[in-house]
Structure 1
Amino acid sequence: MSDDSRLPAEKLCGRCQEVQPAGEFHRRARSRDGLQAFCKTCHRASKRQWRAENPERDRASSSALYQANREAILARHARWRQEHREQTREKNREWREKNRNRIPGYYLKHAYGITFDEYQTMLMAQEGKCAICREPCKVHSRLSVDHCHETQEIRGLLCLRCNSAIGLLNEDPSRLRAAADYLARSRR
């Protein structure tokens, strides 16, 4: 039934046995009155209980539904974020404040595939110093994770200057040697 005038004004919930306004029930075209048997509150409680009792089936069902509708879901989320920019920014800001100590770990895992503990182990192995210039890390900065851009293999931790220098010289050893020779010649 799609005609609202044919819906009853009120209905008895089959679960909580309370008479509720029709707006408190989900629609169901196959039922005689066009409404679900349980009110929305009871329906949510029933779904919650089923999920708690069947976590594997729920996970599989949710995953299958997401995979089948992935593009539409992502587009809907992007559209919502676009329409609610300020709300999104505020929520992100609140999350960052609450999880300040977790952020480096997320970035390291996403960008380089290492955990924050692995980064700390590398830092301790290098005695908190840059792998090239051996200068200690400044108080409010971190050493950069140096990696090969072709193989993604991590080479070590570098200070911003050394990491920038090898990046500007395209990570080319012959250019780096030529730069070192140039500097050595100019000091004579």
Structure 2
Amino acid sequence: MNLRAKYGISVAEYDSLRAKQGYRCAICQRHEDDIPVVASGRPRRDGSPSAPAFKLTVDHCHTSLRVRGLLCSGCNAGLGSFRESVPALLAAVSYLHQT
């Protein structure tokens, strides 16, 4: 993935976010070593070995495009399922507390 084109950050900035978060998902705190790799990195045009796949995905606001942090794929998909709606997420928390 081209981090610069998609999110406006460099690989160094991505790595800095990883270190700042302790190499953990910003929501569930799962360490990246405990996140299974579902695919290898994209093959390189020059035939050299693929770069390792990113285990933590870049989370960004779809309105402002500002990068918020790094998430595991499950937490990232969860936010997407709730359409980044704070009221919907709070309703889900309330629902979970009922059980």
Match of 1:177 among 62, 68, 90: 90
Instruction: Name the Cα RMSD after superposition.
Output: 1.2
The percent of aligned pairs where both chains have the same amino acid is: 38
Aligned residues: 81
**SS at the partner of 2:58?**
strand
Partner SS for 1:124: helix
Pairing of 1:29-178 with structure 2 (within 5 A): 104=1, 107-137=2-32, 138=35, 140=37, 141-178=54-91
Unpaired runs of 5+ residues, structure 1, are: 1-103
Higher helix proportion (structure 1 or 2): 1
Cα distance change, pair 173–183 in 1 and its aligned pair in 2 (3 A) = same
RCO greater where, 1 or 2, for CA within 8 Å and sep 6 or more? 2
Unaligned residue ranges in structure 2 (runs of 5+): 38-53
Q: C-alpha separation between the residues in 2 aligned to 1:181 and 1:161?
A: 20
Q: CA deviation at 1:139?
A: 5.5
